Structure 1
Amino acid sequence: MDGYVRRERPPLELLDDEPVGECSDAEVDEEELNSFLMGDLLATPEPRRRRKLSFADKLMRRLMKKNKTAKRQTLKTIGTQRKKKKRRTAAHPSKLTPQLEKFMQEAMNHYLNGSFEEAIKILKEVVRRAPGLHDPFHLLGVIYQEEYGDIVTATGYYLLAAHLVQTDLELWRRIGEMSQEIGNVDQAIYCFKKCLKTNEGDINEEVTFALAMCHLEKNDHHNAIKRLYTLFELHPDDALLLNELSKSLMAIGDKETLLAVLCTYYGESKDIETAKLVCQLHNSLKLYTECIEFAESVAETLRVKLVKLPLDILASYVIAALYVDMDVSKELEAIWQTEQVDPAMLYAIATALTNRCQETAIRWFRRGYNENDKTTIDLLLAEQAIHMARCIVIVEKDHEMARRILQHILEREPANSEVIILLADILVQAGKHSEADELLVRLTTTDLNRLKMIQKPIDAEERKRELTDLEATVQDLLDMCFSDENFRIPPCLLAKTCGKQETPEFKAIAQKVNTWINRFLRVVNDCELDTERTYKKLSSTKINRPHTEDSSVTDNIDINKETSKNYSFLRTKKDLGLQSVEDIIGNRMSASALSLPSGWGNYEHLLVNAASLMAIVRRCREGVQLLEIITNNKKRYKSAVDIAKRKQLLATVEELSYRMYNSTTKNNAAELSCFGGMFKIALGHARGELAKQGSLNTYGTLLSTGALAKSACISLSSSAEKDTLLENRSWVTRQLLHNPQNFDLLMLAGHFCTMSGNWPFAIEEYKRALIQRPNDQVTALCLATSYFNSLSSRAVEDSKKYILLGMTFLQYSFQLRRNHTENHPCEAVFIAECEYNMARATHFLNLLHLAVPLYERCIKTIRDAEDKFEGIQNDDAIECPCIICSMSRRNARTYPHSVTGLAGGKYVWEYERKQILRAAAYNLYLIYTMNKNTVQAANVAAHHIQWN
């Protein structure tokens, strides 16, 4: 087997020992000849099945594979020997002998006389005798094409003829066209490639275009682009070429090349439709400056002003200008005044406006969006929907509208992870936690990995330019926002209901603030990603260690030190060319100005100002997210440089984001999360105070204010803060196991039981709390209330006992209240409060004959106090604890941060007196109305109730 070499026999080889003579019909099998000449070309459409290998064949193949090296050596030895003369085959042209010429003449005569069968027989005999002669194949192709209409067979004969005469370019082109007709695209491509150039060496444009069309039929856009681009370079003003080339470039997503092609075509034709596409592509590629320059050049070409440009070009110009912070108010007004504007154009403008003014962006979006029109919904892109949903939630607090917008996008793109995450976040804010969980289940590992991808950093020069401008303009914005107390918003104590927040003046200021915040968030978020970028680089860097065994221990120690130095955090960050906010701000300072604050101090000051600006325009959620990112990144910051200043920055960030902190004036300033109503974040940090300081004052204050306190009035299962409350209820229960005598924990546990409607458990908790502090009036009142409410529980067997205990503790709370307020300047208000509580208890027990006189006595007590009231002389100022006033106290210009009229009983007289009077009068009005005593009800309503 080692010396055996298999020799393949050529398919069209004529043996020398075969007699050459005339061939009769009986001697020639037409099907066999066709198969012999053309192989699979004329074979039946059914594929020939491969013979099943026997065991011997398999063994033989295995042995031959093992001896592959020996075979190669044998082949090399044989190749060096004298080669035998190759026999003539169809691959070589044959000479036309006189006998063959006679056969060809007879075949031609039969063809001209219409005897096609006889002509075919003679031609096949000629082929058998001289397979390298192209004339018989060509004539056979003509007969089958023109007389029999068999294009497939004719194409096969033409193909054989073309291979024998390679220079017949026209024949190759003809075969390619015929192959296109029969759908054999691969054969057409093969033929067209043979005749891409003419005999003179020039490009055959028709063939090149036909070849490109064949590539398009096979969806081979890359090769199609290669051919079409060659033609486009010759004819840059050809619209047909531009159309086909644009389709292929869009199919593969090569927008850069498409932009260059369109610009070239516009330069030749000055076509306006092409100019529109160029502008759209510029914006799609975020080449905003180039888009502006191109639109201006179009205006110069048309000799018109920018506002007179075609609407599509004008809209693209406006979008690009908005992204580069240009003033395009005139252009925007021109588009707004246009009657019929494409919704897609309005969406694009609205998305660009989100970086400048979110209120204006929503106005543009609502003009194009119609929930009842499916066309406008289909034109909204996912990215645009995400931007607008965020704006609607931030500005209008309309979670339902944002949910519907994203739901439409999710129906169209069910696998869009960004839409899923944002929609889940909105559902959580709306209290629909189960729906949010169902959405998040759709996320895959690929989606989560994609979300972890780190974007490319902003250019260093752009970072410096942006941060410098942000620092330079922030003080002016602070002056505009906080100098006037009328611009303050709740929960700031300085907030007033004068409606000045709705004036055009404040809206203009808010627009500037939002623009500043957008720029600030963009730059700072990108800078904070530097920590992730550095750690990613460190984790991917492979440290090369020496592999030689003869190195000494000392050398290894030195190498490890060098490795630690070279691949340290700061060095890697520097190698990547990354400069964070503290680096940029610190580098701007003079090296000699050692007394000035460092970059960390300036960064801290900038964060305080930014947090207050976010609070005034109600963007606290974004601020808290940024502060959490900063906290996590700075805790991972591996450097011993400026460690004290970095810790100070971390403390300030935590103060801004989470807890209440003591300022230099020893007054508490509320956190950004509380100002924005994000109680879950605030409560999480407040719980930490128990471990650090052993105090739950902050925790209890948070639970008794805002949305959490409002949740006590409704069922816990339907509360929007359900998850937060359940989480904290579990935490309080666990803490009670460690501190069963803690008064604050006992009161919190009782409150949670009250919210859940577990009155027997609430009674037990309030009892334990009252044992700890017997003189606490609030605890006694809560215990009395729990006894009354437990009457509706089936677990109560003796209702009279519970009524008696409730009345007992209620009277006890009144006694404690009077003892505590007997020297208060508004003592009458507290007496009226006790009378109201007693009236409310009898009203709850349906003892209306007792409730009515008690309500009337409460009203009379307050009215008598009003007649005798001589005023309270106390102008002490109370420091507002909100984050805005905290910044005002820190700022060198000292904006208003305190309020008068709330100290020394003034708050009780101005607010609590009115509240007690209103509640007593309204309950009395309801009793009279229920008993159809309309005269008394009207009298109470007229004298004591102020209707809105």
Structure 2
Amino acid sequence: MSGFSSELIDYLEGRISFEEFEIRREERKAKLKVTIPVKSLLYANYPPLLSLPADPEEGISPSVQKAFEEEDSEEERKLNRENKKMMKERRNRSKLPRALRGLMGEANIRYARGDKEDAVLMCMEIIRQAPLAYEPFSTLAMIYEDQGDMEKSLQFGLIAAHLNPSDCEEWVKLADMSLEQDNIRQAIICYTKAIKYDPSNVRYLWERCSLYEQVGEHKQSMDGYRRILNLLPPTDGEHFMQLSRDMAKSYYESSDLPSAMGVMEEALRRHPELVTDESINMAAELYIANHQHGKALQVGVCVCVSFIDLCVCVFPDHVPVDIRVKLMVCLIHQHVYRPLDSMLTSLMEQSPEELGDLYLDVAEAFLDEGEYNSALPLLSALVCSERYNLAVVWLRHAECLKALGHMEVAVKSYSKVVQMAPLHLEARLCLSTLQQQLGRPLCALKALEPMYDPDTLAQDASAAQQELKLLLHRSTLLRSQGRLDDYLDSMLTMLAMLLKVAMTRAQVCVRASMWSGVRHLRLVKVSKDLVSDIDDQEAAYQDISGKTSVLSREDWWLLLVRCVCTLCEMKRFKEAELLVDSSLEFYSFYDVKVKRKELEFFGLSAAFLDHNYRKAYDYIRLTLMEKQEWPMLWNVFNQVTLHSQDVRHHRFCLRLMMKNPDNHALCVLSGHNALVSGSFKHALGQYVQAFRSKPDEPLYSLCVGLTFFHMASQKFVVKRHPLILQGFSFLWRYVELRGHCQESMYNLGRALQQMGLAHLAIHYYHKALSFPPLTLEVYTTDTPRHSLLPQGSQLPSSYTRGIYYRYTSPFTITTRLSASLL
């Protein structure tokens, strides 16, 4: 077995199939072809001694020496020819050594006498000594075939055929045996080997093409048929034409129109005398399908139609009606309408039950060219028939009526299409549009009802894409009708398709619940145990890619923004938060920084409106770490911290203050935090820093003065009076900067009351009540503007005085002041 190649040993031991054996054998041959030129290059630098130029011998003239050289070269050429002839003879000759030929003959005699076991042993011995001889393998194949072991017979037969590849009949026999074992691929290889040594055999090519068609390799099959066409003699024209038509039909079914037209053109060119109506019909149909109506018209005109000034056309009686209809289609697309009157009359005389497909071809040609009045009678005849009362015909009928402006009748036709084909999306959309134009909003919504159930949407990606388009139009219609709850249902359904994986990570799901007696969808937060894990993440992301092909990422972003805004408009702030959380888990939105920041702003607004201040703090904290210079953000931060009743923002402000010591808003907020925490000296330092940067700001003077008062109000304090004096000096500075108004008088009174100067505090409370209230212009969606304290501007001063008099004054004064508040 030492002479066996590795792939042959693997094949004999059953580790690889014959197809794999053939592939590995070809690869080994290719490697050998590469190594041989490499060896020749290695020896190129060392030319043989015979090729070295010899010195001319003394005493011999150059002419005589040249004659001898020519005679030698002629002898060398003869020797080369003889060597090639001998090598060719040896190639066809058996590789069995003479010493083993007797043993091979004895094995054949034993096999003929029925002593098969001895014959097998002898063949095995011959294979051991001469592994490249095909005779023992061939004998073993016959022995196993007689024993009924077809698998081993085929195996040894394939080895014998490889060792003697020029025997085409043996390859064909092996191909038949492979087909009996349902091994089509192996049969194709056998026929390929046979064709290699007999390339002009049409039968081999035909059988291999048939096998290629069985395994679905259309290109290889068509290439084989093309070789058959080239091999067919000119006298076999009928066969050539039939094969060309079959090939053109196969190319057409595989949407390869150029190849189909090329085959038919070649057939018409080589055998014009054998052109039949079937060939003309097929060629014209191919040209029409490829929108080459001029060529299709030429094919028909040259054979069966004569034109007189393109106004009168005369058909011979033998011309089939389908060819006439194709010529009519070509004339319509060429905008030649005058000859069509008689042709249409002749067609309409035929029954639509029998020629309905031809009716439809002519009608579609009229529709393509905008001739709706001409197409309508044909389509009306088809929809009234029994055989062609189909959804596609009703759809063309509806499109024609819509183009002509017959809306009511078009609605009936579209309704018929939806009834017969409920999954036809375009028909539903057109029907809804027409119903909306006719002032029937409920009917328009009914046309856009869901087409698929949830299970189908979860399994079928194409169905999900169709449903997505339907929901998009439905949401637009609901928004225009002001039905916001139903509009949100459609929006949440669409976004749930896109954010399926993101919602799973965010532990958010869409659930149906009753709301005011009507069932609507709601976004809810669920525990991790109730969230269904997505097993195939890759398939889920491919499904998302399919949905992004329906809408671009920017369109999805606009849908998300509209949904969040509508949820806030409907006071569904908690659901807006959950939708933002899910969107932040979606990579396509989170990866774009602008969109991520906008989502964070949406989340901040929704959380604040939902009174979820802890979550709002998380959003505003992230924003402030990047944008410390925006005063609006600090105002929002202050509002969030005021409502959160939490002190964790103190450390955040201190850490941020260390990184940005010159930030003015951060300085003031740190002072407020220190004042609330009781660190008056730290608060005083922050306020003084703010006061020095902006000394004309009344607020900072007020804060410094109040801080001095708080320090003076402590139980154990040194130099209490200087603190009070400094506090009053800053308060008076505040009054001067702010001016005499209700606010300044009230704050001054409260400070005096805190220090126990009740008579002075009452005086300033009276003065506060004597000033008109300040107004703050705020624009809202309800009213154009309103005051800061409408109708109750005197409430703080009056209420404070009432409480103070309750403990320091007679009961009547307290009652009178409290009554003024009612």
TM bucket normalised to smaller: 0.3 to 0.5
Larger Rg: 2
TM-score norm. by structure 1 comes to: 0.38
TM-score (norm 2): 0.43
